[in-house]
């Protein structure tokens, strides 16, 4: 499978947990991307876990194979546009997910997620694994 995929936090965690369907999909792509927001969510989870050092090592290994997407002014502009649009529609989603959506849109990536609320973001290309 070729393509440009931004893996959401839930997909990244499923991969790290060894969920076969997700592992097979990730192994089959040319490249996968992870935003700095997603990395932060994962490091938070690891830091709050019972196995901090082991989980941090697993995340670092995972991120070493990914293309990391950082937030910049362009991401910030898209964040503002998306958040305003969602507010006008009366359909808010978590702020971190708005940053993730903005990153996917900015870099023309398909967002791989299991979170249905991303469907509220206009023009966001979604895929489910």
Helix/strand/coil for 34: strand
Q: Considering just the CA atoms, what is the radius of gyration of the chain in Å? A: 14
Q: Global pTM?
A: 0.93
| pLDDT tens digits, 71-112 | 999 999 999 999 999 999 999 999 999 999 999 999 999 999
The reported pLDDT for the residue numbered 1 is 43
Contact 38, 5 (CB under 8 A): no
pLDDT band at 117 (very low <50, low <70, confident <90, very high): very high
The residues that bridge with 111 in the sheet, in sequence order, are 6, 126
Helix/strand/coil for 11: helix
Domains of the chain with bracketed CATH: 4-127 (3.40.50.1010)
């Amino acid at each position: 499978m070729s393509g440009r995929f931004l893996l959401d936090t839930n997909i990244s965690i499923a991969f790290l947990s060894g969920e076969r369907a997700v592992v097979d999909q990730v192994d089959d792509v040319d490249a996968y991307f992870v935003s700095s927001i997603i990395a932060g969510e994962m490091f938070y989870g690891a830091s709050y876990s019972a196995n901090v050092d082991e989980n941090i090592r697993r995340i670092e290994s995972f991120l070493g194979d990914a293309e990391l997407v950082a937030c910049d002014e362009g991401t910030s502009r898209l964040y503002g546009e998306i958040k305003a649009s969602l507010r006008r529609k009366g359909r808010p989603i978590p702020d971190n997910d708005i940053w993730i959506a903005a990153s996917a849109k900015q870099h023309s990536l398909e967002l791989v997620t299991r979170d249905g609320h991303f469907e509220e973001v206009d023009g966001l290309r979604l895929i489910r694994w």
